[in-house]
């Protein structure tokens, strides 16, 4: 299909797809700026490590709550209008964080930021209605690569900017990016000739329908469970690595942890290609293959864990295929009825964040009990379950 034909039918152009990937990255990055600069913020507000820890914790709780309460609106109202509105609210939250003179307003602004970070989860539903069905995996993967790139830039860039210009500059820059994104989104998200079929259900019945839809789409629950294990494992690995690499006998500096985080850049290049390949072989089969490669990478964590240099090998393998487990899971429900897609996304993302929360709790607890070997065993067990569930999904739908 030619580009001209694609545009005539109302599909997104390649430049719009790339712009949406960029918008996904910068809107999701806002929640991650705090991670490398949290100690600087604590010193500015003269609070303890325990007190400043409430900031990212409430941000994540608010994010999950916002997804549950606000994301279903995407099946009733225009994804385009909602995205523009929520990104504008993110701009206000970032300005609030930059202006804050003590912990309380900073925490309130950060919590508001989490609650309105909905746009990154509306973009895939918007794009899924405006790409050819045979390119769904490719475009979904492109947006996922944008997410990974945004998190990577947030973690690396915030530390560099704060080191030279102070942590408030991080939020001034982020607020400027959000304002610019708000202004360009109307052009990026042009609706073209495609009309959206939307639900006419009132808000509270619409919210209640999320649970009804969850019972009706067991395959989405399975994909969400797989991604919850995947996301929880990702968080567990990086939390444990931060403790392991900076402790005896390795005693690396925290900068080494940051350098290793840069390995995630490999997924920016791999994920779109794997998504395009998944369009050809099928999402379930592709997920099984990627989960097997991930299991192999996870199995190398313990034998290669004696140095940061050797850990590059399993980290690169996991970074290359891990996001594709997410992409293939999303492909399965983003191909369903358009009027259900944001509510299906709600189910998927909320369960994913539950997995991330469990992974956060287990990571430090298991490491405290058994160190790096125990963490490797935990993540290995989760990876085995991911492979098992992925295999069961393939067998179930091929019989």
pLDDT the model gives residue 258:
64
pLDDT the model gives residue 288:
95
Percent share of the chain, pLDDT over 90: 32
Query: What pLDDT band is residue 155 in, cutting at 50, 70 and 90?
Result: confident
More confident residue, 194 or 395: 395
Domain ranges within the chain, ordered by starting residue = 8-188, 209-399
More confident residue, 265 or 317: 317
* CB of 112 closer than 8 Å to CB of 94: no
Return the number of other C-beta atoms located less than 10 Å from residue 337's C-beta: 11
Nearest Cα neighbor of 102 from 165, 163, 51 is 51
Which phi and psi (to 5°) does residue 245 adopt?
-70, -25
Mean per-residue pLDDT over the chain, rounded: 84
Nearest Cα neighbor of 27 from 184, 156, 147 is 147
In the block, tokens 């990627």 appear at 290
d(CA 325, CA 312) in angstroms, rounded, equals: 20
pLDDT the model gives residue 6:
41
The two domains 8-188 and 209-399 share their CATH topology (first three levels equal):
yes
Q: Which of 64-73, 98-107, 265-274 has the highest mean pLDDT?
A: 98-107
pLDDT the model gives residue 150:
87
Does the pLDDT of residue 4 top 70, yes or no?
Answer: no
pLDDT the model gives residue 313:
93
Q: Which of 70-84, 147-161, 377-391 has the highest mean pLDDT?
A: 377-391
Does the pLDDT of residue 195 top 70, yes or no?
Answer: no
Global pTM reads 0.73
Does the pLDDT of residue 151 top 70, yes or no?
Answer: yes
Query: What pLDDT band is residue 1 in, cutting at 50, 70 and 90?
Result: very low
Distances (CA, A) of 260 to 53, 208, 253, 392: 23, 43, 12, 34
What is the average pLDDT across 320-341?
Answer: 83
d(CA 334, CA 342) in angstroms, rounded, equals: 9
| Weakest-pLDDT range from 147-156, 167-176, 389-398 | 147-156
More confident residue, 41 or 199: 41
* CB of 373 closer than 8 Å to CB of 302: yes
- In tens, the pLDDT along 88-145 reads 999 999 999 999 999 999 999 999 999 999 999 888 888 887 888 778 778 887 888 8
More confident residue, 297 or 266: 297
Does the pLDDT of residue 38 top 80, yes or no?
Answer: no
What kind of architecture, by CATH, is found in domain 8-188?
Up-down Bundle (1.20)
- In tens, the pLDDT along 166-183 reads 889 999 999 999 999 999
pLDDT the model gives residue 194:
56
pLDDT the model gives residue 228:
92
d(CA 330, CA 137) in angstroms, rounded, equals: 9
CA angle 97/358/143 to nearest 5° reads 60
pLDDT the model gives residue 8:
46
Percent share of the chain, pLDDT over 70: 91
Nearest Cα neighbor of 333 from 128, 158, 188, 181 is 128
pLDDT the model gives residue 106:
95
More confident residue, 191 or 168: 168
Which phi and psi (to 5°) does residue 322 adopt?
-55, -50
- For residue 57 the two structure tokens come to 């914790």
Does the pLDDT of residue 193 top 70, yes or no?
Answer: no
Does the pLDDT of residue 191 top 50, yes or no?
Answer: yes
What is the average pLDDT across 253-267?
Answer: 71
- In tens, the pLDDT along 202-229 reads 788 888 888 888 888 888 899 999 999 9
In the block, tokens 């899924």 appear at 128
- What CATH number does the domain located at 209-399 have? 1.20.1250.20
- In tens, the pLDDT along 39-50 reads 678 888 888 756
């Amino acid at each position: 299909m030619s580009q001209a034909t694609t545009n005539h039918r109302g599909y997104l152009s390649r430049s719009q797809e790339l712009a949406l990937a960029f918008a996904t990255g910068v809107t999701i990055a806002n929640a991650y700026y705090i991670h490398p600069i949290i100690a600087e913020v604590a010193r500015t507000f003269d609070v303890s490590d325990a007190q400043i820890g409430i900031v990212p914790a409430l941000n994540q709780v608010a994010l999950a709550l916002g997804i549950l309460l606000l994301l279903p609106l995407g099946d009733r109202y225009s994804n385009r209008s909602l995205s523009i509105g929520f990104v504008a609210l993110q701009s206000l939250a970032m300005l609030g964080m930059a202006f804050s003179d003590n912990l309380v307003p900073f925490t309130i602004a950060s919590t508001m930021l989490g609650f309105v970070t909905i746009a990154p989860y509306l973009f895939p539903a918007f794009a899924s209605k405006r790409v050819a069905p045979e390119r769904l995996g490719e475009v979904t993967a492109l947006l996922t690569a944008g997410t990974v790139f945004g998190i990577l830039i947030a973690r690396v860039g915030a530390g560099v900017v704060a080191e030279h210009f102070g942590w408030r500059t991080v939020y001034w820059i982020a607020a400027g990016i959000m304002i610019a994104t708000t202004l360009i989104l109307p052009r990026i998200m042009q609706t073209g000739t495609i009309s959206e079929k939307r639900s006419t259900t009132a808000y509270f019945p619409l919210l209640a329908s999320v649970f009804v839809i969850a019972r009706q789409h067991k395959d989405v629950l399975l994909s969400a469970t797989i991604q919850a294990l995947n996301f929880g494992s990702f968080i567990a690995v990086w939390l444990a690595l931060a403790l392991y690499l900076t402790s005896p006998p390795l005693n690396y500096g925290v900068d080494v942890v940051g350098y290793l985080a840069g390995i995630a850049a490999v997924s920016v290049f791999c994920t779109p290609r794997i998504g395009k390949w998944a369009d050809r072989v099928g999402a379930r089969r592709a997920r099984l293959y990627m989960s097997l490669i991930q299991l192999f990478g996870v199995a190398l964590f313990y034998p290669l864990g004696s140095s940061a240099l050797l850990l590059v090998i399993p980290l690169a393998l996991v970074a290359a295929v891990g996001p594709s487990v997410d992409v293939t899971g999303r492909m399965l429900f983003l191909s369903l009825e358009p009027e259900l897609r944001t509510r299906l996304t709600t189910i998927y993302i909320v369960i994913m964040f539950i997995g991330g929360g469990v992974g956060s709790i287990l990571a430090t607890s298991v490491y405290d009990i058994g160190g790096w070997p125990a963490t490797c065993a935990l993540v290995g067990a989760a990876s085995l379950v991911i492979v098992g569930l992925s295999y069961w999904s393939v067998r179930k739908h091929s019989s």
